[in-house]
Amino acid sequence: MLEKLQHLDRRWVFLMMLLAVAVPMLADWQVPEKSTLLVRQTFEAIDRLPEGSKILLSWDWDPSAEGELGPMANAFVRHCCQKKHKMVFIALWPVGQQLIDDTIEKLIQADYPHLVYGRDYVNLGFKPGNEGVIKVLLTDLRQLYTTDARGTNIEKIPVMRGLNTVRDFDLVVSVSAGYPGIKEWVQYASAAYPNQVRLITGTTGVSAPLLYPYIPDQLQGMLGAIKGAAEYEQLLLEKYPPTHGEEVGKYQEALRRMGPQLAAHLLMIGLIVLGNILYFASRRKQS
Amino acid sequence: MASGQLLVSEKTAGKSRWVGPALLLAAGVYVAWRAAVFGCGTVYVAPADEGPTSVSAWEAVAGVAQPSLGRTIGVWVAALLTLAIFSFLYKDNPLYKLAEAVFVGVSAGYWMVVAFWTTLVPNLLGKLFPAWVSAGLMPGLSPEREDAWYWYFVPLVLGLMLLWRLAPRGAWIAAWPLAFIMGATAGVRLVGFLQADFLNQIGATIRPAVVLLHQADGQGVDWTASLGATVQALLLLVGVLCCLTYFFFSVEHRGLVGRASRLGVWVLMITFGAAFGYTVMGRIALLAGRLEFLLNDWLWLIDPAGLRPPDWTGWW
Amino acid sequence: MKRTIPLVITFVCGVVLLAAHFSPYTHRWGEAAMIWFDILASIAFLLGGGNLLKVHLKKVFAQQAGWAYSLITVVAFVVTLWVGLVKWGAPPAAHLEHYGESFAHVPLEEFPFTYSVPGQLPKTAERPLLPASVRAQLSQADGQVVFRGWLLPNQKSDLLAYHPTLAWRCLVEQLAKAAQPSAGFRGKLAYYPEPQALAFRGSMTPQERAELEALSPSDAWRSAVAALYEAGQRQTEVVAPTAPERFTPEQARKISPALDYDPASRRLQIRGPMSLSERQALEQQFPLARPKLTADPALTSAHQPESSTVPLRPSAHQPGTSIVQGESSTVQLGTANDQQRGFADPYRHHLWKALEDQGPLTAKQAEVFQAHWERRWTVEQLLEAIRMAGVGEPTEKTACQMLAEKEQGVADIQPIGPLEPDQTLRPEQAAAIRTWAAGPNLYLEDLLEQLAKTSGGQSPGFIQTALQNFFHQVPTEAEAKKTLCVELLRAGPLTEAQREFLLADYRAEWAWRTAVGELFRQAHQVKFPWSGQYNAAGSPFWWIYEYMFKPLTATMFALLAFYVASAAFRAFRAKNVEAALLLGTAFVVLLGRTAAGTVLTGWLPDWLGWLRVEELTVLIMTIFNTAGTRAIMIGIALGIVATSLKIILGMDRSYLGSAEK
């Protein structure tokens, strides 16, 4: 038996992982979430700003990270819509522009139709250059963004009046999947103008541990991985309960994914423990 | 450890050869049945100013939306491409290679189109020839030239030199714009890393090691919380110093230095363990996202957001 | 030479960017370098695509192993590139199309009207050039500021922002007042300098044409006017499958004289283009959603409090909550009082009865119905909105007024004038609103007519504005019934008759709106066919992104979950203390970041709370992970600094190596 387990084809492990994620999803197994301090701080960063504050949202991700960052992005935007903040979207990743359009169509236009494009929010789109874009944003964003993503002259967009540099915004939110992302925002925006640029982020599980040294001086809040997203969604649902039935499901994406997450984590722990048992057993047998 | 070995006895090896294809066939029949009876994977559209727009199935129940052939085919293509990629887990196969080839081609094309329309047209051509660009391609752009607009010939020329790299001869000229890119990157990163990752990190470490926290009502010191915060601050300081000691390879790691660097290794192991935990979390969430697409948008086995009538979703 | 120049470029570039960080005099060079960098980054994408084509085409022509897959790559690349570059299937950008207006080309130099105002164009060191929106039209001659064209609102804003002095702002205000079409054509005629187009809103009458042609003998002007006249005569029609109950030809002509409607054939016709406001007016021909009534509408205004901030007090007339749970499927809503008074909210009762008559309803559906009704708007909310709109706003002084004050020697010039007086709703107006809200079908025009009667001719402006804004967010009754239908279906089944009852009006409204939209699009003169977004939803490029690129990208990364599981089983061994520490931490984090941690260690007392798995996770991340990552970060930062210096100083030339081929 031990011999067979030691030589177990990895495809059985793949199947176990598939079932660990699929079965809770099919059974709609959800678990409650309790928020941690860092997520509460991130929530407060948007919530305590007065209505109508100017927020720069940078979509530095693409569909490869949708599993973790999609719910975060939706939660941030919903929060800003509830607080009636003015939202300016940019993207540092090429596909980010399309993701912004998706957010606008499926979230803002669907659930907040009273918000007007150009007056309450705008999509400035993608510009290549990675940290070069952030450097230009520090001095004069109109050098790079002459129009928005739809081709309207930036001078004619009401929400952009008075916004010339990143320091004119009350908060910068970066949903970040890697490079370029929140690390570049910290290095080039926050470091250049400490105490003038307030930054929060929603980031992947891979990047989150690497950003802890920046908290709280250079980075004022962080949602790490799907757990952070689930906690944020929980806080948002508690403070701003949706008014229509269909909204609830849409804004619980991360909470839904925590059930499969738990099952998969338990599987991972089980696999590591089993692997070690087999290892020590075979070593004892050899000795 | 032999890989690719199934967990079966030799006696049943012959029979087990049929298990896989049989399971696949059964799954295929089930999916075909769900498609035929429930129309799973159908996308509904309603007319709008800028063309048909996707709407939820409730609009179809209300009688104002029609199924869209193009988008329904799209969902099925997306699902089949997803399964083709997942088939690599079983073994490398032509379906996976096909999906991979499509992925490479589509990605490169997508990025080229994005770069062209988001930057080359408005930020290069639009600066050099604004009247022409605003007349047809981007009417929102001003047709007036800016002050010192002729400087934009520099990136145009550098860009053409960069593209010359593809030419059979004279590709050496691409080194000039490459040098510009390298110099700019080096100049920008030197300061960025020094400021954010070096100076600010040192500043964040050199903090009071003894922390006094006051009670919520402002009456006196909260000794328990202060003790906790002090221990944390000390651990952080000692942790950073020990890790840095470990990275200092020009001194032999013996004696006090050796013990400090060993402690540093342990701190680093904890760091890597935490990173591993978070990485696992991240990867699993990505898989959950894809499975949600397959089970919700394609097969209609679940409907967490309530986008369809309840009787359209289910196993049968 | 081949190696020297690139090294010099690297050095100069690096030094400029370093200097830009430290010296304010070199900031602009750094900005320029970054902009060029961003442009080159976009050209690098082209290089990537070109390289891909080169490599794979070579493989295909040489018929190397796997050439078929290379062919697929090339085909996928070319198709994506083509549909994206030509913006295939992308409709023109709606916000740039100037709906409702026809365009005719008139070059700026041939525009016959100029306007002059005495004054000087300001010279400013910070902004040597005039704003781009007016640069071509504004000039200085003989002590006058001359403007060719008609000043648009955005041009006025740009000019006001150009220079802060009162004298300049007053000049701009005077220019804005002067540089407009004659009174009869204000709001109809405009000149857009960027496309150099003369625009006319709607359909031009022959009299208007004659008047316009008489304004100037210029050929360009006359031919533009003729083109605008022709464009305004183009007839477009649609046949609507359904039509609003109260829509008549008179109603159509009231919206626009160019609109015509034949009720017999339901043919809707328009001469010339349709504007957005005309379209909106056509679409809003249906009754609004009924409110939740909380007081007997028969009560006169004398019994209502004067203040319009009527609290939502619970009344005896509020429908009771005597919902019978369990076996019975019929539900009683309303109290005995309601029945005696003939129902405080008769429409609600009628709606429920009608649904019950056509099929059974469950207790859960009754709850859903109640919850739906609770969300409806109330008359009190409307009255409050009107009250808020009537609150006096401060008046803004014009720059010329402030300049006059300055010349008179006023010391402290304020930009804000006295508050406008508050305007309030009179009791009879409030009563009219309540009576209307309790009526059978709620048409906004009926309410405006009633209010006009109580005001002796025209309802006050603030009330009209408040009503438009309030009801802009209120759905029609058909839309509300459709929402109710969806909510009821979520809670239980409905019979076909019940569905038809709830959805028939919605379908009819939808069909009308679709027909109006069709007429709107057909009547429109497309100005900029290539102005649309390259990734417009529904276009082939969008299809490739949504159904190929997105799933492929996401799935490639999702594969990693499986490999991490396999690696965990086969490779992660606690062979020594360090490895055990790593794995132990991983266990704590894996448990602490899910609900499992809470369950496993939730029983620990508060004084040992820091040992709970979720708290331990936080401590691990904020102390040990931070310490280790910080040390690594410091090390990497030093490495980056060293490498960057080596590159700038030319000591590291590895990036040039492959460029020599």
* DSSP letter string, A13-81: HHHHHHHHHHHHHHTT--------HHHHHHHHHHHTSPTT-EEEEEEE--GGGHHHHHHHHHHHHHHHH
**Interchain proximity A184–B274, CB inside 8 Å:** no
The answer to whether residue B70 neighbours chain C at the CB level (below 8 Å) is: yes
**Cα torsion A71, A74, A79, A85: sign:** positive
The answer to whether residue C621 neighbours chain A at the CB level (below 8 Å) is: yes
Q: Which residues of C touch A265 (CB under 8 A)?
A: 590-591, 593-594, 596
The answer to whether residue B49 neighbours chain C at the CB level (below 8 Å) is: yes
Residues 217-276 on B with a CB inside 8 Å of C are 228, 232, 235-236, 238-240, 242-244, 246-247, 264-276
- Segment C415-439, tens digit of pLDDT: 888 888 888 888 889 999 999 998 8
Proportion of chain C above pLDDT 70, given as a percent? 91
Q: Which chains touch A (3 or more CB pairs under 8 A)?
A: B, C
Nearest chain B residue to A213 by CA distance is B201
| Disruptive mutation site among A150, A188, A206 for chain C (greatest number of C CBs within 10 Å) | A150
Backbone φ, ψ for residue A170 (5° rounding): -80, -25
Helix runs in C152-238, H state only: 153-162, 166-178, 206-215, 219-233
Examine residue B70 and state whether it is found in any structural domain, yes or no.
yes
C-alpha to C-alpha distance for B18 and A278, rounded to whole angstroms:
31
pLDDT-derived band at A219 (thresholds 50, 70, 90) equals very high
Query: Is the model's pLDDT at C335 over the cut of 80?
Result: no
Helix runs in B90-193, H state only: 94-115, 126-128, 130-136, 153-163, 175-192
- List the single residue in A128, A262, A265 with the smallest CB-CB distance to C42: A128
Examine residue A32 and state whether it is found in any structural domain, yes or no.
no
C-alpha to C-alpha distance for C203 and C230, rounded to whole angstroms:
9
Say whether both A110 and A203 belong to one domain: yes
Examine residue B80 and state whether it is found in any structural domain, yes or no.
yes
Nearest residue to A4 via CA among A270, A276, A278: A278
Q: Which residues of C touch B103 (CB under 8 A)?
A: 548-549, 552-553, 556
**Tell me, what DSSP letter sits at residue B167?**
S
Q: Which residues of B touch A208 (CB under 8 A)?
A: 278
For chain B, give the mean pLDDT. 89
pLDDT of residue C126: 67
Which ranges of chain B have pLDDT less than 70?
Answer: 1-15, 316
**Prior bond of C421 cis (ω within 30°):** no
- Segment A220-276, tens digit of pLDDT: 999 999 999 999 999 999 999 887 655 678 889 999 999 999 999 999 999 999 999
Say whether both A207 and A70 belong to one domain: yes
Say whether both A106 and A203 belong to one domain: yes
- In this structure, what token pair is assigned to residue B97? 């290679």
- The tokens 């490479």 sit on which residue? B104
Backbone φ, ψ for residue C69 (5° rounding): -70, -35
Examine residue A225 and state whether it is found in any structural domain, yes or no.
yes
**Interchain proximity B134–C637, CB inside 8 Å:** no
The answer to whether residue B28 neighbours chain C at the CB level (below 8 Å) is: no
Q: Which residues of A touch C553 (CB under 8 A)?
A: 62-64, 95
**Interchain proximity C47–B115, CB inside 8 Å:** no
From B91, B107, B122, the end of a domain falls on: B91
**Interchain proximity B267–C624, CB inside 8 Å:** yes
Q: Which residues contact B2 (CB under 8 A, 6 or more apart)?
A: A7
Nearest chain B residue to C132 by CA distance is B144
Question: How many domains are there within chain A?
Answer: 2
**Tell me, what DSSP letter sits at residue B314?**
S
C-alpha to C-alpha distance for C334 and C293, rounded to whole angstroms:
13
Instruction: Name the more confident of A2 and C15.
Output: C15
Helix runs in C234-335, H state only: 249-255, 276-283
Examine residue B133 and state whether it is found in any structural domain, yes or no.
no
From B39, B71, B91, the end of a domain falls on: B91
SS3 of C19-58: the string is HHHHCHHHHHHHHHHHHHHHHHHHHHHHHHHHHHHHHHHH
**Domain extent listing, chain C:** 4-85, 301-522, 534-566, 572-656
Q: DSSP assignment of A140-160, as one string?
A: -GGGT-SB-TT--BGGG-GGG
Complex ipTM value? 0.93
pLDDT of residue C317: 31
- List the single residue in B181, B205, B271 with the smallest CB-CB distance to C624: B271
Say whether both A109 and A219 belong to one domain: yes
Q: Which chains touch C (3 or more CB pairs under 8 A)?
A: A, B
Query: Is the model's pLDDT at C305 over the cut of 60?
Result: no
Q: DSSP assignment of C597-619, as one string?
A: HHHHHTTS-GGGGGGSHHHHHHH
Q: Which residues of B touch C485 (CB under 8 A)?
A: 61-62
- In this structure, what token pair is assigned to residue B92? 């490398």
Looking at chain C, the number of H-run helices and the number of E-run strands are 26, 11
Q: Which residues of C touch B63 (CB under 8 A)?
A: 503, 506-507
Helix runs in B193-254, H state only: 200-205, 223-247
The region, left, alpha or beta by phi > 0 then psi within -120 to 50, assigned to residue C111 is beta
Give the mean pLDDT of C637-642: 95
Looking at chain A, the number of H-run helices and the number of E-run strands are 12, 6
Q: Is residue A221 packed enough to be buried (19+ CB in 10 Å), middle (13-18) or exposed (0-12)? A: buried
The number of CA neighbours under 13 Å toward the Cβ of C214 is 7
Examine residue B9 and state whether it is found in any structural domain, yes or no.
no
State the pairing for strand pair A221-224/A199-203: parallel
Query: Is the model's pLDDT at C1 over the cut of 80?
Result: no
Examine residue B116 and state whether it is found in any structural domain, yes or no.
no
- In this structure, what token pair is assigned to residue B237? 């300081």
C-alpha to C-alpha distance for C131 and B144, rounded to whole angstroms:
9
C-alpha to C-alpha distance for C393 and C462, rounded to whole angstroms:
11
CA C209 from chain center: how many Å?
Answer: 37
- List the single residue in A152, A204, A210 with the smallest CB-CB distance to B140: A152
Structural domain of residue A23, as residue ranges?
A: 2-27+261-286
Residues 4-23 on B with a CB inside 8 Å of C are none
**Interchain proximity C659–B115, CB inside 8 Å:** no
- In this structure, what token pair is assigned to residue C274? 């349709």
CATH code: domain of residue A179: 3.40.50
Chain A and chain B share a number of CB contacts under 8 A equal to 181
pLDDT of residue B238: 94
Examine residue A256 and state whether it is found in any structural domain, yes or no.
no
Say whether both A14 and A88 belong to one domain: no
Q: Is C595 helix (H, G, I), strand (E, B) or coil?
A: helix
C-alpha to C-alpha distance for A227 and A75, rounded to whole angstroms:
13
Output Rg (C-alpha) for chain B, integer angstroms: 31
**Tell me, what DSSP letter sits at residue A174?**
E
- Segment B40-97, tens digit of pLDDT: 999 999 988 878 888 889 999 999 999 999 999 999 999 999 999 999 999 899 999 9
C451, C429 Cβ separation under 8 angstroms? yes
Say whether both A42 and A23 belong to one domain: no
**Interchain proximity A246–B271, CB inside 8 Å:** no
- In this structure, what token pair is assigned to residue B203? 């500043």
Structural domain of residue B51, as residue ranges?
A: 23-91
Query: Is the model's pLDDT at C303 over the cut of 60?
Result: no
Query: Is the model's pLDDT at C301 over the cut of 60?
Result: no
Say whether both A13 and A145 belong to one domain: no
**C116: β partners:** C146
Q: Which residues of C touch B64 (CB under 8 A)?
A: 506-507, 510
C-alpha to C-alpha distance for A34 and A49, rounded to whole angstroms:
24
Nearest chain C residue to A276 by CA distance is C573
For chain A, give the mean pLDDT. 92
Q: DSSP assignment of C413-442, as one string?
A: --SEEEEPPP----HHHHHHHHHHHTSSS-
Examine residue A120 and state whether it is found in any structural domain, yes or no.
yes
- Segment A45-104, tens digit of pLDDT: 999 999 999 999 999 999 999 999 999 999 999 999 999 999 999 999 999 999 999 999
How many angstroms separate the CA of residue B9 from the nearest CA in chain C?
A: 22
Question: Sheet holding C101-105: strands in order across?
Answer: C101-105, C197-201, C189-192
**Tell me, what DSSP letter sits at residue A213?**
G
Give the mean pLDDT of C232-258: 93
Rounded to two decimals, what is the model's pTM?
0.90
pLDDT of residue C457: 72
**Interchain proximity B232–C35, CB inside 8 Å:** no
Nearest chain C residue to B231 by CA distance is C623
Q: Residue A187, Cβ neighbours under 10 Å: how many?
A: 26
- Segment C476-518, tens digit of pLDDT: 999 999 999 999 998 999 999 999 999 999 999 999 999 999 9
The answer to whether residue A86 neighbours chain C at the CB level (below 8 Å) is: no
pLDDT of residue B48: 84
- The tokens 């004069």 sit on which residue? A140
How many angstroms separate the CA of residue C588 from the nearest CA in chain A?
A: 10
Between helix B175-192 and helix C27-62 the angle, nearest 10°, is 130
A216, A195 Cβ separation under 8 angstroms? no
Q: Which chains touch B (3 or more CB pairs under 8 A)?
A: A, C
SS3 of A81-111: the string is HHCCCEEEEEECCCCHHHHHHHHHHHHHHHH
Say whether both A116 and A146 belong to one domain: yes
Give the mean pLDDT of C411-417: 85
How many angstroms separate the CA of residue A6 from the nearest CA in chain B?
A: 8
**Tell me, what DSSP letter sits at residue C409?**
T
pLDDT of residue B121: 93
Which amino acid makes up residue C251? Q
**Interchain proximity C624–B274, CB inside 8 Å:** yes
What is the torsion angle, in degrees rounded to the nearest 10, for the CA atoms of residue C338, residue C343, residue C347 and residue C353? 60
How many angstroms separate the CA of residue B201 from the nearest CA in chain C?
A: 7
Q: Which residues of A touch C537 (CB under 8 A)?
A: 101, 105
- List the single residue in A95, A188, A204 with the smallest CB-CB distance to B282: A204
- List the single residue in B140, B274, B291 with the smallest CB-CB distance to A25: B291
C272, C523 Cβ separation under 8 angstroms? yes
Nearest chain A residue to B306 by CA distance is A246
**Interchain proximity A63–C133, CB inside 8 Å:** no
**Interchain proximity A257–B285, CB inside 8 Å:** yes
Query: Is the model's pLDDT at C619 over the cut of 80?
Result: yes
pLDDT-derived band at A200 (thresholds 50, 70, 90) equals very high
Residues 220-259 on A with a CB inside 8 Å of C are 225, 227, 243-246, 258
Say whether both A231 and A276 belong to one domain: no
| Disruptive mutation site among A38, A135, A146, A183 for chain B (greatest number of B CBs within 10 Å) | A146
Question: How many domains are there within chain B?
Answer: 2
Backbone φ, ψ for residue B219 (5° rounding): -95, 90
Q: Residue B235, Cβ neighbours under 10 Å: how many?
A: 17
A33, A258 Cβ separation under 8 angstroms? yes
Q: Which residues of A touch B290 (CB under 8 A)?
A: 67
Backbone φ, ψ for residue C212 (5° rounding): -65, -40
C-alpha to C-alpha distance for B240 and B248, rounded to whole angstroms:
13
Chain A and chain C share a number of CB contacts under 8 A equal to 172
Say whether both A73 and A9 belong to one domain: no
